[in-house]
Structure 1
Amino acid sequence: MRRAPHRIAVMGSGSWGTTFAKVLADADANAEVVLWARRAEVAAEINEQHTNANYLGEIRLPGNVSATDDPVAALQGAELVILAVPAQSLRQQLGEWGQAIAADAVVVSLMKGLERGTDLRMTQVVAQVLGVSDDRLAVVSGPNLAKEIAREEPTASVVACSSQETADWIARSCTPAYFRPYTNTDLVGVEIGGIVKNVIALAVGICDGMGMGDNTKATIITRGLAETTRLALALGGSADTMAGLAGLGDLVATCSSPLSRNRTAGRLIGEGNTLDQVAEKMTQVAEGIKSGSAVQDLAATHGVEMPITAAVVAVIDGRVGVKDMARLLLERELKSEEIH
């Protein structure tokens, strides 16, 4: 059995990266968890105050979490590397410091997006740029709203890797009293569930911003799960995964919570804000806005019908007004509710 990692690098000090560093540090007080922060002042705050106030308020980080603005220093000697940077910047970031990742390190993605232009999942980008083998490449995904976890509210998640042994090792490394990771070898399904739910959450948020009720939002969530499942199956994922934490669980949390960035962005759009105004009012990226067109392209490539995704992308691109989104969905040809 592989021993617990002594040094862990978390690349990205946003809300989820910082929270997951806390999870790892709380899981093993002997682990050295190093956060890479792009800005020196954030690294200094984490080291001196043990907080990252911009994202997590006054929540204190464990003493075995430190930070640096030097990515190579963060990666030095790390046996487990956690990637928590914005999805659309991953390729560039890996080009700048990816070679500092140890040849035998396990790499875990916390990111939930598709790369625009290539339609690649984040683990595919890592494999393409760094040549990391499948048994050392994993993803953590599920109903994981960062602030709730940082407050140590009980939460479950999924660690997915093609190697069950690697998935088990990662899970043992991130199991404090308040965070329970399940394991899964369906990397594709887990990753797709986390990607598409952001687009569906935008749709729910748009409906919320327009003042629509729970019937409408429940319809979007349910049919959103159906189109997410269709895409996952087309890519080789499992329907069981879509019924679990990384599918239904993540979708419900993201579509229901005011803490959700994508739901919040959708609500602002539904209230009549432009994308520039939405960006000004939010402190973090709503990944569904960035990845929506890539999801639609991937679906088209595999012949998968995703009407909610298509409607959201049309709104984001300015081809359709928010008031016309419901009409696009309701005027479609009548059909069976079956997924296939």
Structure 2
Amino acid sequence: MSIAVLGAGAFGTALAISLAQNGPVVLWARRPDHAADMVQQGENAARLPGVALPKNVSVSADIAQACGAQTLLLAVPMQQTRAFLTQHATLLQGKTLVSCSKGIDLETLRGPTALIEEIVPSARPAVLTGPSFAADIARGLPTALTLACRDQAQVLQEQLSTPTLRLYRTPDLIGAELGGALKNVIAIGAGVVMGAGLGDSARAALITRGFAEMNRLALMLGAEPETLSGLSGFGDLVLTCTSDLSRNYRRGFALGAAQEIDPSITVEGAATACAVARLAKARCIDMPIAAMIAALTEHHITVAQATQALLSRPLKEE
């Protein structure tokens, strides 16, 4: 097997299904019972119901078997990535590790490629990110993503592209991973605006000013400006701020509407908002929207207080 997807959530499963158009793929599930259920039912009923697993997707709970592949797609949640890399560092040595998570590690304030380079220095890091929903990819709907990689990028691009999954390559790892991480924070804010009934005009303003904040931080951390204007930044921002299929948007909508939140659903933007607020403060970067979203997700302020704080800021040039 040349490709394995490590993580059998909705997105990891969707990637395995799409990549199976090119050849055999191993899909690794952390829990043996989850793997057994997928084998028995022929689908990932728990995470991606209604989409059959192709015959050339081999489901396994054996991490050593999965790591027999040379190209490994890391589809584990961002806040679990550091522990996963540490636990399996020996098996991951010398592999191409393609991070598919979107976020910033809350403890170290670092992205996935920095963690890979520190914990598994012999591995080749890459990032796969952009505007996509798992259901769309799994059902073969046309999807375009960004693949960030410094070495042999064209080879990896060809390996991971499928008839329905089109990849654009870039060497800008930092920009690609920050675009995917930061847009989740703004998507929560867009959901808050709509959940609180503040209107489409307010959402448009928040997306626009939020995009300015994304660029401000990303450029300070070494990203290329054109990367944030591409699929991994602006493209993903548009998708997640305008669709209720986005978990981050739905979390924000629930906050804005004062609805109960399901704690079992992974929402990467909540932890990322807190990490971004800490990063911005440490580097003296003005990110008022991100700060308000972090405070909202931690229930330190109300929506009314956050709205008033943003609207009462001093007037300035755009």
Structure 2 length as normaliser, TM-score?
Answer: 0.96
For 1:189-221, what per-residue CA distance to the aligned partner results, in whole angstroms no more than 9, with x for missing partners? Answer: 111000011110000111111122111111111
**Match status 1:100 vs 2:83:** no
Q: Which of 160, 163, 169 pairs up with 2:148?
A: 160
For 1:40-87, what per-residue CA distance to the aligned partner results, in whole angstroms no more than 9, with x for missing partners? Answer: 232123323331122221111221111112222221x21101111111
What does residue range 228-243 of structure 1 map to in structure 2 within 5 Å?
228-243=214-229
The alignment of Structure 1 onto Structure 2 pairs a total of residues equal to: 318
* Aligned residue number for residue 100 of structure 2: 110
For the 8 Å contact 1:72–1:97, the answer to whether it is kept is: no
Report the Cα distance in structure 2 between the residues aligned to 1:174 and 1:60, rounded to whole angstroms. Answer: 20
For 1:227-249, what per-residue CA distance to the aligned partner results, in whole angstroms no more than 9, with x for missing partners? Answer: 10111111111111111111110
Q: Structure 1: where are the runs of 5+ without partners?
A: 1-5
Report the Cα distance in structure 1 between the residues aligned to 2:177 and 2:284, rounded to whole angstroms. Answer: 19
Report the Cα distance in structure 1 between the residues aligned to 2:132 and 2:89, rounded to whole angstroms. Answer: 26
* Aligned residue number for residue 304 of structure 1: 285
* Aligned residue number for residue 3 of structure 1: none
Report the Cα distance in structure 2 between the residues aligned to 1:20 and 1:304, rounded to whole angstroms. Answer: 36
Please tell me the residue identity of whatever aligns with 1:100. Answer: L
Report the Cα distance in structure 1 between the residues aligned to 2:317 and 2:155, rounded to whole angstroms. Answer: 43
* Aligned residue number for residue 204 of structure 2: 218
Please tell me the residue identity of whatever aligns with 2:110. Answer: L
**Match status 1:33 vs 2:21:** no
* Aligned residue number for residue 191 of structure 1: 177
Structure 1: which 4+ aligned runs deviate by more than 4 Å? none
Please tell me the residue identity of whatever aligns with 2:155. Answer: W
For 1:122-172, what per-residue CA distance to the aligned partner results, in whole angstroms no more than 9, with x for missing partners? Answer: 111121111145xx1100010011111112111100000122x2x212211
* Aligned residue number for residue 264 of structure 1: 250
Report the Cα distance in structure 2 between the residues aligned to 1:296 and 1:42, rounded to whole angstroms. Answer: 36
Identical amino acids, percent of aligned pairs: 40
1:112 counterpart SS class:
coil
Please tell me the residue identity of whatever aligns with 1:85. Answer: V
Report the Cα distance in structure 2 between the residues aligned to 1:132 and 1:232, rounded to whole angstroms. Answer: 26
Say what the alpha-carbon RMSD is for the aligned residues. 1.4
Report the Cα distance in structure 2 between the residues aligned to 1:300 and 1:168, rounded to whole angstroms. Answer: 38
Q: How far 1:96 sits from its partner (Å)?
A: 2.0
Q: Which of 62, 73, 83 pairs up with 2:74?
A: 83
For the 8 Å contact 1:46–1:66, the answer to whether it is kept is: no
Q: Structure 2: where are the runs of 5+ without partners?
A: none
For the 8 Å contact 1:241–1:247, the answer to whether it is kept is: yes
For the 8 Å contact 1:23–1:174, the answer to whether it is kept is: no
What does residue range 145-184 of structure 1 map to in structure 2 within 5 Å?
145-163=133-151, 165=152, 167-184=153-170
Report the Cα distance in structure 2 between the residues aligned to 1:72 and 1:308, rounded to whole angstroms. Answer: 43
* Aligned residue number for residue 315 of structure 2: 334
2:177 counterpart SS class:
helix
2:317 counterpart SS class:
coil
- Comparing 85-94 with 305-314, greater Cα deviation is found at 85-94
Q: How far 1:299 sits from its partner (Å)?
A: 2.0
Q: Which of 33, 49, 52 pairs up with 2:44?
A: 52
Q: Which of 291, 294, 298 pairs up with 2:275?
A: 294
Structure 1 length as normaliser, TM-score?
Answer: 0.90
**Match status 1:250 vs 2:233:** no
2:244 counterpart SS class:
coil
* Aligned residue number for residue 10 of structure 1: 5
- Comparing 210-219 with 191-200, greater Cα deviation is found at 210-219
